[in-house]
Structure 1
Amino acid sequence: MRIIKYVLVIILFYSCTIDKSSIELFQRLNDSIQFKYAPDKRVAIYDISFKSEENILVLEGETDNAVALEELKENLADNNINFEDRVVVLPDSSVGEFVYALANNSVSNLRSKGKHSAELVTQVILGTELKVLKKHGSFTLVQTPEKYIAWVDNGGITFLNENKFKNWKDSERLIYIKNIGNSYQDEGFSMVLTDMVLGGKVKIIEELESSFKVEFPDGRNGFVKKEEAERYSKWLIHLKPSKELIESYAKSLLGSPYLWGGTSTKGMDCSGFVKTVYLMNGFVTPRDASQQILAGKIVDENLKLEGLKKGDLMFFGSKATKDKKQRVTHVGIWLGNDRQEFIHSSKRVRINSMNSELDIFDTWCSENYLGSRRYLDVEDKEFLKL
């Protein structure tokens, strides 16, 4: 970094214009800050570019990290470089006071771009708390609790200011504990209001004999059957994450369809399946398999299926070579039995084995096993605990 600063000074001393080679140097400095603060574009935004305008370096683009931008500006100033800051720090002015949002549907789809035809990259379930970064047309760029950044259709969320968000956090809420079901417009359950999925949360208005009267984020009122839900505060108090509970939730999802980008009981991809299972054990895990492998404690370093415990995450993909880095493309959950079984979402949620003598042996997973991680009883900043 010090060498780059010296070179910048020399260039500007002998040149009265900011030429192409100078811009390339500026970009190298910019790239180093991006690598430091936003190496993963899925969870951080640092999209800053440079241009020369009347012998002034003009900074353009956007970032969600004001500290990173300030470091860039300090480096430029230290080298006596004249610049103009036109970078937008998110949340931008389109957001106004509504800096938070709640998922308003049983499942809200998040996409790579602000349009319905864009790739489905993840989902959030009812009541998920989101940070709002910017709005564009009928879509909004949001950040999920696991820091994933993507676009959501405005119909799938309700916007909140600071006060309303605090009221939501302080309210008595309900968590849905059945895989799939419904809420109803009436106490007699004769008319469906909306569907519900495992882990969804709504505000409790009143506890009745056979139901909870609830309020959805957008203000709709409905009724949820008592046997299908619990008070969220009570559920949290009694939640005891364990290997057995992980297995129980994982097996309850057997047969659920595979859905690229899915994270709900309606359909899920491999890492979305892991995310759902661990959410009901009190964990907010990283979203993708390539992120999940960076969290937790490394186990089975020798890839011999030794030292694994039920509930450990198993990762699969392309192994590293002298020319290519390791590429993680799949994840499953080890079931810890003498049949070497694991459960994963591939075509559907199903159980396979690493034992070649069994009819449920998975050849691809066996040949592309990359190692395992343990989340239970591990403290790690890469995942949150409810």
Structure 2
Amino acid sequence: MHYFSKILIILLLLVLGCNSKEGVNENLEAYIEAIKKEHAPDKRVALFNIEGKHSADGWTLIGESNLPDAVFALKGKLNEVGLAYTDSIKILPDASLKGKHVALVTNSVANLRSEPKHSAELSTQATLGTPVKVWKKEGGWYYIQTPDKYLAWVNSGEISLMTDAEQEAWTNQKKIIYTNTYGHVFSGIDAQTRVSDLVAGSILETTGEGMDFYTVRFPDGREGFVKKEEASPYNSWLGTLDRSQESLVATSKTLMGVPYLWGGTSTKGMDCSGFTKTIYFLNGLIIPRDASQQVHAGVPIDSTKSFDQLQKGDLLFFGRKATDSTAEKVVHVGMWIGNNEFIHASDRVRISSMDKDAENYDEYNLNRYLRSKRVLGQEDEALINLERNYTFYNSN
């Protein structure tokens, strides 16, 4: 009987020990999730991959993040409740980058992927001269963050790594912005050899100019010539932006017929939110990347199909309305251009109408309309005004 009592006590201790571990594990996961919800609710723009691993030596926090304040908050909470742990969290940027944790896009368009491989989903794009943050490297790929805070992978051949000082030196150089929808850099004034193609919004350092051309230098050192009629000095372009309803409409119509491309944000191809993002960027304003992010920017205008309340430049959002059992889902965005019409990327950039008697009446999108927001002229932490807030492109 004494033998069986000992066995019973041992089994009871084991069960209690397991329950205690599970309880701590559940609490730890809850603390991690709470910090993640507060500091990194959208994984598209914030990296916080942290978990607890238990061993005979106790709990170890493993994973990585580019948010040191969030990691500090998590450790503070665990210290507060008395949960002992070993800290093995990697704070990015990774030390292996050796100080080169910024970069410039060197191709006309860099294709940014969801995973570090060419076969992965196209998450977004970044155009020539876009400054990015670099967080880590895996094989021939870098994990980067664009000015709209989007996180994605880029192949090493599409960016030029730099130190902060090197990027600052580039920032202070004179630059041009390419304003045509599509074009090229040539190897000489009269040469037909092409150094690279260009898309609207490409940024290049300019090293001189002639009567009809600019001499330019790429971030990776390549040089060439750009026709003056197709570009403008960056500061002059920035200073002449009127950022008006009419300028947004005019810009949008220059992109008519550009094909739809999932993940695209350039004049080579664009998805619906890439299109609205490009319109605003070419008018000096950076807005969030995706439709489900753009819907949280600006101020609400309409949610009842009262289209007479809209102004040119307002963004219209479409998708699935919320129900008692499902959340709202924003899946499409377009821009109002007046006359009961909106322009959007659907198969290609096109104009559709909310007027049932119009030839271009869009019944499908009218039926899934959710709301409209106004970002033009708004002060919003989700919006970056190039004239006031965005120093990467500033030049002498």
Contact 2:262/2:271 (<8 A) preserved: yes
SS state of the match for residue 118, structure 2?
coil
Amino acid of the structure 2 residue aligned with 1:81: L
Q: What CA deviation, in whole Å up to 9, does each residue of 1:97-129 have, x standing for no partner?
A: 101010100000000000000000100000001
SS state of the match for residue 338, structure 2?
coil
Amino acid of the structure 2 residue aligned with 1:384: I
Distance (whole Å) between structure 1 residues aligned to residue 298 and residue 338 of structure 2: 18
Q: Which residue of 1 aligns with 2:145?
A: 143
Identity of aligned residues (%): 43
Distance (whole Å) between structure 2 residues aligned to residue 96 and residue 18 of structure 1: 43
Structure showing greater radius of gyration is: 2
Contact 1:18/1:55 (<8 A) preserved: no
Amino acid of the structure 2 residue aligned with 1:367: N
> Per-residue deviation at 1:302?
2.8
Contact 1:282/1:385 (<8 A) preserved: yes
Q: What CA deviation, in whole Å up to 9, does each residue of 1:238-272 have, x standing for no partner?
A: 11101111111101111110000000001000000
Q: Which residue of 1 aligns with 2:70?
A: 68
SS state of the match for residue 308, structure 2?
coil
Q: Which residue of 2 aligns with 1:370?
A: 370
SS state of the match for residue 377, structure 2?
coil
Q: Which residue of 1 aligns with 2:217?
A: 215
> Per-residue deviation at 1:55?
4.5
- TM-score if structure 2 supplies the norm length? 0.92
Distance (whole Å) between structure 2 residues aligned to residue 325 and residue 166 of structure 1: 44
Q: Which residue of 2 aligns with 1:273?
A: 275
Amino acid of the structure 1 residue aligned with 2:49: D
Distance (whole Å) between structure 2 residues aligned to residue 191 and residue 233 of structure 1: 29
1:11-160 equivalences under 5 Å are 19-160=21-162
Q: Which residue of 2 aligns with 1:10?
A: none
Contact 2:303/2:370 (<8 A) preserved: no
Please tell me whether residue 290 in structure 1 is matched to residue 282 in structure 2. Answer: no
Unaligned runs of 5+ in 1: 1-13
> Per-residue deviation at 1:20?
2.0
Distance (whole Å) between structure 1 residues aligned to residue 94 and residue 133 of structure 2: 12
Distance (whole Å) between structure 1 residues aligned to residue 336 and residue 88 of structure 2: 50
Contact 2:143/2:151 (<8 A) preserved: yes
SS state of the match for residue 136, structure 2?
strand
- Shift in CA distance, 377/318, structure 1 to aligned 2, threshold 3 Å: same
Distance (whole Å) between structure 2 residues aligned to residue 274 and residue 226 of structure 1: 27
Amino acid of the structure 2 residue aligned with 1:332: G
Unaligned runs of 5+ in 2: 1-15, 387-396
Amino acid of the structure 2 residue aligned with 1:385: N
> Per-residue deviation at 1:189?
3.5
Q: What CA deviation, in whole Å up to 9, does each residue of 1:12-51 have, x standing for no partner?
A: xx96996123101110111000000000000001110101
SS state of the match for residue 73, structure 2?
helix
Distance (whole Å) between structure 1 residues aligned to residue 54 and residue 288 of structure 2: 39
Distance (whole Å) between structure 2 residues aligned to residue 59 and residue 88 of structure 1: 10
Distance (whole Å) between structure 1 residues aligned to residue 120 and residue 96 of structure 2: 22
Contact 1:17/1:55 (<8 A) preserved: no
Distance (whole Å) between structure 2 residues aligned to residue 171 and residue 194 of structure 1: 21
Please tell me whether residue 334 in structure 1 is matched to residue 330 in structure 2. Answer: no
Q: What CA deviation, in whole Å up to 9, does each residue of 1:221-240 have, x standing for no partner?
A: 11000101110011111111
Q: What CA deviation, in whole Å up to 9, does each residue of 1:133-190 have, x standing for no partner?
A: 1011111000000000000011110001011110111111110000000000112142
Runs of 4+ in 1 over 4 A off after TM superposition: 14-18
Please tell me whether residue 302 in structure 1 is matched to residue 317 in structure 2. Answer: no
Please tell me whether residue 263 in structure 1 is matched to residue 269 in structure 2. Answer: no
